Amino acid sequence: MSDPSAFSRVGRRVLVTGANTGIGQGIAVSIGRPGREVVAVGRSSMAETIEKVEAAGGRVVSFACDLVDGEAVKTLIDRVWEKYGPLDGLVNNAGIIRLAASVELSEADWDHVIDLNLKATFVLSQAYARLAYERAGRIVNIGSLLSFQGGIRVASYTASKHGVLGITRILANEWASQGINVDAIAPGYIVFNNTEALRADADRSAAIIDRIPAVRWGIPEDIGDAAVFLLAPASSYMHGAVIPVDGGWLVR
């Protein structure tokens, strides 16, 4: 067997988008250990994430960016690289969902979701690869169960998350030979802001739990642990893979 630390030894500096809360925060906390720096990117205060990562012995630097601001997104990776040094990994986590029947979904809600969930993921990956080409690197994209399934009343979200899987695959194809791994995680139902309304609905919540073989909702750290694996040497021969972390939902 290879060195067990190969499963946890992520690079020194990893950028995580949307790291102030939810799954992004869980990923930051899982990465944040002594000797590691998380570059926490988003538009809200990273105070809580800083506190949690520092408690685990890691370090966080925060970098403000609204990821639907196309111009800011284009230059983000270059600006971070210049300010803090090379990035060993990029985790494209920030994402939103908009609920509406497809006949009613507004163009604004379509654009907003696609711009953040899909376009920013591609543009950041492109900018990252241009710099990482010289030194290898890791990209982890956050998909969804709706990377595989249709869902209901979430057309722009489903389109964006199918797209995230698509670009994970094409970028893995193009960049594997340059030493850049591009993979994805498809989280199941995770306890956090995104699913608050769902959990508050007793009937829906019970129906969801009933369908999950693991009989529980996931927690952000479940996704964090999978992200660490995809950033660590143990997954170095994985390119274009998607790991469902869903308590078994997809195989039910």
The nearer residue to ligand NDP, 9 or 74, going by C-beta atoms, is: 74
Nearest to ligand NDP of 49, 235 (CB atom): 49
Pick left, alpha or beta for residue 86 (phi over 0 → left; psi -120 to 50 → alpha; otherwise beta).
beta
Angle at the Cα of 229 from the Cα atoms of 226 and 232, rounded to 5 degrees: 155
Structure tokens at 218: 């996931």
- Least Å distance, CB 135 to ligand NDP, is 26
Shortest reach from residue 29's CB to ligand NDP, in Å: 12
Residue 157 among the catalytic residues: yes
Q: Spell out the residues 6+ positions from residue 233 whose beta carbon is closer than 8 angstroms to its own.
A: 2, 6, 9
- Rank residues 58 and 187 by Cβ distance to ligand NDP and give the closer one: 187
Residues engaged in binding ligand NDP (CB under 6 A): 18, 20-24, 42-44, 66-68, 93-96, 116, 142, 144, 187, 189-190, 192-195
Sign of the CA dihedral running 88, 172, 30, 160: positive
Q: Cβ 121 to ligand NDP, closest distance in Å?
A: 9
Q: Are the beta carbons of 19 and 25 closer than 8 angstroms?
A: yes
- The SS3 call for residue 188 is coil
Given 84, 133, 157, 189, which residue is catalytic? 157
- Cβ of residue 74: shortest distance to ligand NDP, in angstroms? 14
Smaller CB distance to ligand NDP: residue 179 or 194? 194
Q: Which residues are catalytic?
A: 157
